[in-house]
Chains A and B, each alone.
Chain A
Amino acid sequence: MGKILMKGCEAIAEAAVLGGCRFYAGYPITPQNELPEYMSVRLPEVGGDFVQGESEVASINMVYGAATVGTRAMTSSSSPGIALKSEGISYLSGANLPALIVNVSRGGPGLGTIQPAQSDYLQATKAMGHGGFRMIVFAPYSLQEAVDLTYNAFDYAERDRNPVLILIDGALGSIKELVELPPMKELPTEQAKWQLGNPTGEKRVARMLTSIYPEAGLETLNRTKGEMAVAWGENDVMVEEFLLDDAEYVVVAYGIAARVAKEAITGLREKGVKIGMIRPITLFPFPKGSFRKLDYGKVKAFIDIEMTVPAQMRDDIALEVLDRAPIYEYGRSGGVLLDDDGVLEAIEKVLEGEA
């Protein structure tokens, strides 16, 4: 199949279906309505089910229900809607259930704005709900990458029995560009040992899934989840290291911000500036290794570029860089988009020692 022009939200929806999604529940919110709209037509075509819930809370709990019987289930929303779902996402993790959550983020806090922003980094990577659980967070920067990551998201979720988050901003959600779609994935034919329901009718011990641990057991779960997150850091980090070999200046950016930054970096390289970029593709686990292997005798400064103010990823950068080089930040926020000139000027200020 060749490349076709698709809209971000629709490309993610299609990739989820191709990756095995057979249940979607959600509640409308801009700028991600094209995703449920697409699902409402597409899922019935493949024998799946689409539900527009009466609220975000209802929707995430329907996803919980579908996940208990082994159906690949997802929901999507935008920032304030994701916040409403956070309790249910925590319950998913607490009950060891796989699911796919997509946040097409917009400006905040509060109802904020319907325009795009990258203001949910901290929520996504530190505390997507109460109780101290973590999730793998994918942050694609192109629609092709969004398709590829979404397509495989259920494999991670089922391997870990934990929800997975895809975080993109509203601009990538509404942009149209070329994507190549993968083939439809074969769904697992055998029921996993934890899944509810008894399709074959065999005699077996009753199964239970819950996120409440009235007696012992919760600490064990906490330990297991903690070890799982450490293992992600060893095995599942995804990062693009762009022109880092001789870099004196290192931009750190993800998603839409990384695209604008890459354009600026390419231009500056043509002028002989030794500049490169670390682009986290998994925001959690954070690509610590890319910072550890830098030659700090050479690196003069880091520039954190995010479409949010103040920068949020900066804390994670600082934990790796410590005081070995200064970290500057540049961003736009509140629904104002980054643009080529603004990003280039911000980088040039750092180069000229004026930041």
Chain B
Amino acid sequence: MKNTLLVGGSGGQGVMSVGTMLAESAAENGKYATFMPVYGPEQRGGSARCTVIISDDEIMSPLPKKVKTLIAMNEQSYKKFINELEEGGILVMNSSRVTSTVAREDIRIVSLPADDIALETGNIRNANIVMIGAYLASTGAMDPAEFMKSLEHKFKNKPEVIEQNRKALDKGAEIGKQTS
């Protein structure tokens, strides 16, 4: 199985870091993974996107025209990338920031207020982790528990960070599961 994912947001929303974590975690779990960042000339506040491919087989092209899942962290990236989602694909959108009404009827939508959930679970900066939880649970790309193990390893010297991430991931996964 080959899962193609586009994560879009603005600089500072953790788009690149969550894409990297996902690819690293997939690799740690014996899957093939590629992470492809696209940087504009901007930095903080500018647009950021990355493509992550997770596959059971070796990945040949890292440049899909359309992806199976789009994680839209904000309104701007929703508008910019919605047409890169393939027919029957899944849109995971951060309803705290995406204000548009989704016009496409050929996709499945997982909508969750990731900023609010992240704030409730301890740190607004974990909105990206909330979104990943929803992504993993709704697509089955990887077991959220496996991803959590990678986070535990990554933040092994910061137990409070692990706990915040766990809550954020679990909450996202809970919502993702309901729509899977």
**Contact partners of A114 in chain B: CB under 8 A:** 39, 41
Q: How many Å lie between the Cα of A259 and that of B35 in the bound state? A: 15
Whether B33 pairs with A178 at a CB distance below 8 angstroms is yes
Across the interface, do A260 and B61 meet the contact criterion of CB distance under 8 Å? yes
Given contact pairs A5-B24, A5-B35, A339 touches B60 in the complex (Cβ within 8 A): no
B41 surroundings in chain A (CB, below 8 A): 114
* CB contact under 8 A between A262 and B61, given known A114-B41, A178-B27: yes
A266 contacts B60, CB within 8 Å?
Answer: yes
Tell which of A16-24, A40-48, A168-176, A224-232 binds the partner. A168-176
Identify the closest chain B residue to A177 (Cβ).
B34
Taking CB atoms and an 8 Å cut-off, the chain B residues in 69-88 that contact chain A are: none
Does chain A have a CB within 8 A of B65? yes
Residues of A within 8 A of B32 (CB): 177-178
| Those of A240-271 within 8 Å (CB) of chain B | 256, 259-260, 262-264, 266
B33 with A174: CB separation less than 8 A: no
Q: B177 at interface (Cβ–Cβ under 8 A)?
A: no
A337 to B66, CA, bound (A): 13
- A341 on interface, CB distance cutoff 8 Å: yes
Interface size bucket, A side? 20 to 34
Cβ contacts under 8 Å, B34 to chain A = 175-177
- B63 CB-CB contact with A under 8 Å: yes
> How distant is A301 from chain B, measured CB to nearest CB, in Å?
22
B residues 14-47 near A (Cβ < 8 Å) are: 20, 23-24, 27, 32-37, 39, 41
Q: Are A259 and B60 in contact (CB under 8 A)?
A: yes
Question: How many pairs of A and B residues are in contact by the CB < 8 Å rule?
Answer: 62
B side interface size, CB within 8 A: 20
Contact A340 B65 (CB under 8 A): yes
| A266 CA to B57 CA, complexed, in Å | 13
Residues of A within 8 A of B62 (CB): 171, 175, 177, 256, 259
**A337 and B64 alpha carbons, distance in the complex (Å):** 10
Distance between A37 CB and nearest chain B CB, rounded to angstroms: 15
Contact partner of B36 among A175, A263, A340, CB < 8 A? A175
Chain A, residue nearest B53 (CB)? A177
Is the beta-carbon distance between A339 and B63 smaller than 8 angstroms?
A: yes
Would A171 and B63 be within 8 Å (CB), given that A176-B20, A176-B34 are in contact?
yes
Question: Which residue on A lies nearest to B51, using beta carbons?
Answer: A175
Contacts of A4 in B (CB 8 A): 27
A263 proximity list for chain B (CB < 8 A)? 60-61
Q: Chain B nearest CB: distance from A233 CB in Å? A: 29
Instruction: Name the A residues within 8 Å of B35 (CB-CB).
Output: 5, 175-177
Minimum CB–CB distance from B80 to chain A (whole Å) comes to 16
Given A5-B27, A262-B60, output 14 extra A-B contacts at Cβ < 8 Å. Answer: A5-B33, A171-B63, A174-B36, A174-B37, A175-B62, A176-B20, A176-B33, A176-B36, A178-B32, A259-B61, A259-B63, A260-B63, A340-B65, A341-B65
Residues of A in contact with B (beta carbons under 8 Å apart):
3-5, 114, 171, 174-178, 256, 259-260, 262-264, 266, 337-342
A-B contact pairs, 5 of them (CB 8 A): A178-B33, A259-B60, A259-B63, A263-B61, A339-B65
